[in-house]
Structure formats: structure tokens, C-alpha cells
Amino acid sequence: MLQVAVLRQNREWVKERLAVKQFKQPELVDAVVELDDKRKKVQALYDDTQSKVNSASKDIGKLMGQGKKEEAEALKSNVAGWNAELKPLKEKMQLLEKELHDKLVQLPNLPGPLVPVGKTPEDNVVVKEGGEKPVLDAAAQPHWDLAKKYNLIDFELGNKITGSGFPVYINKGARLQRALVQYFLDFNTAAGYTEYLPPFMVNEASAYATGQLPDKEGQMYHATEDDFYLIPTAEVPVTNVYRDTILKEEELPLKMTAYTPCFRREAGSYGKDVRGLNRLHQFEKVEIIQIANPEKSYEILDEMVAHVEKLIQSLELPYRILRLCGGDMGFTSALTYDFEVYSTAQGRWLEVSSVSNFEGFQANRLKCRYKDGSGKTQLVHTLNGSSLALPRIVASLLENHQTAEGINIPAALVPYFGATEIK
């Protein structure tokens, strides 16, 4: 959530930055500032009236002690009148605060200076490519055919049990999932990340704190009886570990990693984007999260990008890194790098990770702060990235490492999978 002070001091600049994100309601910036002006006036009147009550209450005690009962009673009458004014002032202030908050949460995070101007994924900037695209023979197959051929994943059975977008992993397919999760976690913890196993459902306060609500309400599964939300990513519960917390500067950065299943309704998805493992309603993912000193957060973002790159390189997959344009960025992000791996059998790039710096946007909602060297309390910066999301990694592993005899397993994964190939 943006800070009102930032909007007030840099109103036109804020609108310019929001335009980079293709935000269509710049008038909300003016509305927030105007509502805050109204709130401040009511607050000042309330505080002034309350001050009169407090001062008069002390004077009444003194007058009674001096035997000046008549003067004390007159002052009591004034206090009664001021107290009668306080209740409607407080109610008006609460209404203005709610209206202010409701408008403020509709504003997305401001894009950083490195964010390219653009509206669609076609405007994203490729900053790096790595790995080699394999040359497959004419008989090469997409992953959904390979999964059936080697009895790794049953899409039809998942459809029977639950519905489309809920595959069933079988035999070596299930083992491959388990091996990838363990490898990703070990890779992250070796780099200094502390492992968490959080709840897979969160309350409304947690979903709000990381920016999923109200922005992505329609994309999350909602258990209405208990008002819990199934998590779309481990970012939500793990970042909330430090909600309503004041940290010491020397504790930063905090590095966390977690494996969780993820649940996303993915409303409106269709066509080739949903074939096989390309887009699922339930999938597994390992996440990395950092809570950082604002002065070092972009240095840390670069470190996280390099970390994910090394992980993808170890899987021997062709990849590219994109800096997302304003129109393709998430609601909460200030700068995002996407990782895509090349699906040779499908002839297309598949997103497998997003690494983002949210600056103080999430922290303001989380009320996660730290005390700097001068003792001043400031917002931390939060960052997160997929390390990695499994479905499209599995799709690319199957497709890019297929041979006429089977599917080769990357050397880094062999100790976890227990074999060098799937036959």
C-alpha cells in the first residue's frame, strides 16, 4: 500500500509513474489526498475538543478542592457539551478513514525507474539468454504425450477426481516431483535461506497484507465457512511471519524459503496455454523471500535473480530473463524479472519464475518495520521469487531431455531422483 505522504508530496510524479503501469484511475490520487485533508481537519477538531475536556476535568477537581462548587458545576456543563460533540466527530473521522483506506488500497505499487514502458508481454525486455536449445528429431513429443507414454502423469484421472487443471502424478512422475522439491529446497538452504513449512490456507488479514486482496480476490479459492483462502503462493504465509513486527537493523536481511502446493483459479485461461502442465489450478512450488534494508534491496534483487539463474542452469535448460514492462507487472511489484525456459517440443517459452522487489508496498500493509541506527522506525523492503515452480519445469525437462530411448535426468538431480533416466 502506498503511503499518503508520498502521494501528497509528489502528486503529479505519482500519476506519471502509475501511467507506466497502465493504471486508468489517476483521479484516485487526488481523491486520497482530499480525503486525508478532510480527515486531518476532523482529527484536529476532535483533538482540540478532547483537549478542552481533559483540561476542564483537571480544573473541576481543583475548583472542588477550593470549595468553588458553583464554578465547578458551570465547567461541568461545558464538559458535557464538549463530550456530546466528541461522539459524532469520532464517527465522522472513522467514516473518512474507511473511505480513505478503501481508495488507497486500489492504487498499485509504483514502478521503479528501470521498468520499461509498455502495455503487453510483447513489450517486456529480454536482458539475458542462456543454455542451448536442443535439436530434437522429428519423432519428438510434447510433455503431455511423454507423460502418457512413460506413465508419469494422468490428466484424465485428475479430471475425474477433481476437474481440469488437477493432474495426478504417478510412479516416476511422482518421484520426479518429490526430487525437484527436495533439490530446490537444498539449493536454497545452502545459500542461507531458512526453510519454513507454513499453513496452506490463510486468513483475510494475511491475504490483504501481501496484496492478494482486494486485487486478486477472484483468482483465489475461498473456504467461505471459515473465511480462509487457499494460498496462491508460499509468499503469502511466509511473508506474514513478520506481520506487525519491528525488527532490529542488524537482523536484516531475513532469508526464507518454503515448499507449498499453490492454488489458483486461473479464470479465463483457455487454448494452448492450458494444455498439459502449462497452466494448472493446483501445483507445487518452492519460494524464496527476503525482508531487507531499503538501501540494499535492489542489490539483493540482483542476488536473487542470480540465484534462480544458477538453479535453472543446473537443470540444463535453455532459458531467458525478462524485465517486465509496466503493463505486464503485478499489482504489488516495483520491479520484476521473469524467467522463462524454452519448450522445444512446443516451440515456445514457458514462465517458471518471477523475482520481484515490492519495496515498502507490502511492508506498509504488513506493518513490518525496523529501527535504523538513529532509532527511527522505518518500513522494510520485501522481495520474493519462485525457486522454482514445478509444472513448467517438469514439462521442459521431459521435452528438452527426451531421446529415442527415454528421458535423461540432469546430473544435479540424479542423487535426488535415484536414476539417470526415465525409460
Residue 111 lies in a domain: no
Report the alpha-carbon distance of residue 121 to residue 125 in Å, rounded: 9
Residues 327 and 415 in one domain: yes
Question: Where among 52, 78, 104 does a domain terminate?
Answer: 104
Average pLDDT of 266-274? 60
Question: Is 257 marked within a binding site?
Answer: no
Q: Decide if 400 contacts 134 (C-beta within 8 A).
A: yes
Number of domains in the chain: 2
Average pLDDT of 132-142? 90
Residue 34 lies in a domain: yes
60-64, 118-122, 248-252, 368-372: range with lowest mean pLDDT = 60-64
Q: Which residues are annotated as catalytic? A: 264, 279, 351, 354, 392
This prediction has a pTM of 0.92
Residues 235 and 98 in one domain: no
Question: Is 16 marked within a binding site?
Answer: no
Residues 71 and 207 in one domain: no
Residues 195 and 253 in one domain: yes
If you search the block for the grid coordinates 480525503, which residue do you land on? 35
Please choose, from the candidates 282, 263, 254, the residue with its C-alpha nearest in 3D space to the C-alpha of residue 196: 254
Residue 73 lies in a domain: yes
Question: Is 351 marked within a binding site?
Answer: yes
Residue 155 lies in a domain: yes
**68 vs 324, higher pLDDT:** 324
Question: Is 132 marked within a binding site?
Answer: no
Residue 389 lies in a domain: yes
Q: Which tens digit of pLDDT belongs to each residue from 67-106?
A: 888 888 888 888 888 989 999 999 999 999 999 999 999 9
pLDDT at 118: 97
Q: What percent of the chain has pLDDT over 90?
A: 85
Length of the chain: 423
Residues 149 and 252 in one domain: yes
Question: Where among 104, 138, 172 does a domain terminate?
Answer: 104
CATH number of the domain that residue 81 is part of: 1.10.287.40
Strand (E) or helix (H) holding 299: helix 297-314
Give the mean pLDDT of the chain.
94
Question: Is 377 marked within a binding site?
Answer: no
Residue 330 burial (CB < 10 Å; 0-12/13-18/19+)?
Answer: middle
Integer angstrom CA distances of residue 37 from 44, 82, 96, 302 = 11, 23, 10, 40
Residues 239 and 373 in one domain: yes
Residue 330 lies in a domain: yes
Average pLDDT of 127-131? 97
Question: Is 275 marked within a binding site?
Answer: no
Residues 96 and 159 in one domain: no
Residues 17 and 139 in one domain: no
Residues in a beta bridge with 389: 285
Average pLDDT of 273-299? 94
Residues 63 and 141 in one domain: no
CATH number of the domain that residue 381 is part of: 3.30.930.10
Residues 71 and 133 in one domain: no
Residues 161 and 87 in one domain: no
Residue 390 lies in a domain: yes
Residues 283 and 172 in one domain: yes
Residue 413 lies in a domain: yes
Question: Where among 104, 135, 154 does a domain terminate?
Answer: 104
Q: Characterize the bridge pairing of strands 222-223 and 228-230.
A: antiparallel
Q: What is the 3-state secondary structure (H, E, C) of 218-258?
A: HHCCEECCCCEEECCCCHHHHHHHHCCEEEEHHHCCEEEEE
Q: What percent of the chain has pLDDT over 70?
A: 98
Domain hosting 29: range is 4-104
